Amino acid sequence: MEQLRNDPSHRAGRYLRQPTNYLAFIPAGLPPDPKLSLTGKLQVALSEADLALGRLDGSIQTLPNPDLFVFMYVRKEAVYSSQIEGTQSSLVDLLAAEAKLFDPDALPQDVDEVINYVRAMKYGLERLDELPVSIRLICEIHEILLEGVRGGQWTPGELRRSQNWIGPGGCTLREAVFVPPPPDVVPDVLSELERFIHQSDDLPVLIKVGLVHAQFETIHPFLDGNGRIGRLLTTFLLTERGLLHKPVLYLSHYFKRHREAYYEHLQAVRDEGDWEDWLLFFLSGITEVSAEATESARRILTLREEHRAAITASLGRAAGNGHKVLETLFDRPFVSVTEVQSLIGTTYPAANSLVSRLVELGILREVTGQARNRQFRYDPYVQLFTDEDDSDVRP
């Protein structure tokens, strides 16, 4: 096994035996050597991914006030990235928790992990205005990601100082599927990765982002949260490089759907130096999820126009306030009568009447089942972002 793993090509790195007699992987620097073969299937996949991502970015720009619609895209990515790591919370659970709709004990305990993911993404995107993608930014994001949740005891925001490993639950270091570089190597290989991110070269941006994601997962610089940070890193790089003006690519949906292949391709890079197959997989994901997100944008636009028309036709003099409420629902799909009252600046009975009319139109649905402190959800919009994997078990 050791001979197989130490193939003479050492294209992605090599396994070295450590003083305590286990094998740890020491990654080679990027770009790969021998050089990538950006021809044939890989060239076609790159062209298709570029085209699909461009269509997605363009479709988002056609939406009125695109920032309103980013809310749901970000949360969908947060849910799927967290589910890859074993969380059970759905998109509906996340929205309910953010709206403080239920007693926290009535929601999955891991919903706070997804909330942290959303916080980390928003923080990172804001920091990109003043700080490039870097080790410093990654550590800041990691601290937010693990604050007060599972893994919070594993030095959030700090590079690891002990050996970690990947494998089935309960396995030992010597039984691991993969052992990342030892802790004393981590700062150097991470600094090398940062230099690669910012160096000028002729590599297409999507190829570079795919290489960075795989390399980061191989380095595994933290004791917990590496997978989620690596996927956040992809979003930050696509945004920083201008391929996406808004963070609307939920690539983790693809990784979750093909979880075994995702891990197998990453491991094949380490064991066989198979960068090309990993990049084919990565680019296919970009293409597939970009098309899905583009379709979501089209459906959002159609839904908005349908509901604007219904409000105009049915609410008479209250139509203006109805439109105002509708626009806010795209940013925050849960609402109470009190919040509507504050938004439109009217009396509580008038706000209650407006909410009732929106329920009659099928725009809102009451979800608490209570006579007081009722909350309403913009169900048609939420359903655009849920699928068979999202169990809407709430009322």
> To which residue do tokens 């100082």 refer?
161
Work out the number of other CB atoms within 10 angstroms of the CB of residue 160: 18
H-assigned helices in 109-169: 111-127, 135-145
Distances (CA, A) of 226 to 30, 142, 151, 336: 19, 9, 11, 38
Position 174 scores a pLDDT of 86
Position 5 scores a pLDDT of 45
Residue 237 and residue 319 in one domain: no
The torsion angles phi and psi of 24, rounded to 5 degrees, stand at: -120, 145
Nearest to 268 by CA among 44, 71, 11, 3: 11
pLDDT in tens, 286-299: 999 999 999 999 99
User: What DSSP string describes 186-208?
Assistant: HHHHHHHHHHHHHS--S--HHHH
Residue 271 and residue 217 in one domain: yes
Q: Is residue 349 part of a domain?
A: yes
Residue 375 and residue 281 in one domain: no
Residue 238 and residue 338 in one domain: no
* Consecutive H or E run containing 211: helix 205-219
Q: Is residue 300 part of a domain?
A: no
Work out the number of other CB atoms within 10 angstroms of the CB of residue 348: 11
Residue 120 and residue 157 in one domain: yes
Position 368 scores a pLDDT of 86
Hey, is 17 helix, strand or coil?
strand
Hey, is 77 helix, strand or coil?
helix
Range of the domain at 355: 315-383
Position 4 scores a pLDDT of 39
Tell me the average pLDDT across 152-175: 90
Position 27 scores a pLDDT of 97
Residue 54 and residue 166 in one domain: yes
pLDDT tier at 103, thresholds 50, 70, 90 = low
Residue 286 and residue 348 in one domain: no
The CATH number assigned to the domain holding 243 equals 1.10.3290.10
Look at the chain and report how many structural domains it folds into: 2
Crossing angle for the helix pair 205-219 and 275-314, to the nearest 10 degrees: 110
Position 391 scores a pLDDT of 46
Tell me the average pLDDT across 310-326: 97
Token readout for 72 is 């749901």
Boundary residue ending a domain (248, 263, 295): 295
User: What DSSP string describes 271-318?
Assistant: HH--HHHHHHHHHHHHHHHHHHHHHHHHHHHHHHHHHHHHHHHHSGGG
Q: Is residue 190 part of a domain?
A: yes
CA distance 146 to 181: 22
Q: Is residue 69 part of a domain?
A: yes
> To which residue do tokens 């929205």 refer?
95
Give CA angle at 73 (63, 103), nearest 5°: 125
Find out whether 326 and 306 touch, Cβ atoms under 8 Å. Answer: no
**Which positions ≥6 away from 153 have C-beta within 8 Å?**
none
Boundary residue ending a domain (232, 261, 295): 295
Nearest to 125 by CA among 142, 144, 141: 141
The CATH number assigned to the domain holding 350 equals 1.10.10.10
Residue 368 and residue 256 in one domain: no
Position 387 scores a pLDDT of 66
Residue 57 and residue 160 in one domain: yes
pLDDT in tens, 198-231: 999 999 999 999 999 999 999 999 999 999 999 9
For the chain, how big is the Rg over CA atoms in Å? 23
Tell me the average pLDDT across 172-193: 95
Position 62 scores a pLDDT of 83
Find out whether 57 and 211 touch, Cβ atoms under 8 Å. Answer: no
Find out whether 92 and 390 touch, Cβ atoms under 8 Å. Answer: yes
Using left for φ > 0, alpha for ψ between -120 and 50, and beta otherwise, residue 335 falls in: beta
Position 254 scores a pLDDT of 97
Q: Is residue 1 part of a domain?
A: no
Token readout for 151 is 């893994």
Amino acid identity, residue 11?
Answer: R
Lowest mean pLDDT among 141-155, 221-235, 250-264: 141-155
Boundary residue ending a domain (264, 295, 326): 295
Q: Is residue 254 part of a domain?
A: yes
Work out the number of other CB atoms within 10 angstroms of the CB of residue 386: 17
User: What DSSP string describes 25-70?
Assistant: EEEPPSS-SSPP---HHHHHHHHHHHHHHHHHHHHHHTSSSHHHHH
Find out whether 26 and 5 touch, Cβ atoms under 8 Å. Answer: no
Residue 123 and residue 194 in one domain: yes
Inform me whether the pLDDT recorded for 392 exceeds 60. no
Inform me whether the pLDDT recorded for 394 exceeds 60. no
Residue 107 and residue 254 in one domain: yes
Token readout for 386 is 């849920």
Q: Is residue 228 part of a domain?
A: yes
Nearest to 83 by CA among 203, 221, 199, 254: 254
Find out whether 231 and 255 touch, Cβ atoms under 8 Å. Answer: yes
Token readout for 179 is 């052992």
Tell me the average pLDDT across 95-106: 77
Residue 286 and residue 327 in one domain: no
Q: Is residue 31 part of a domain?
A: no
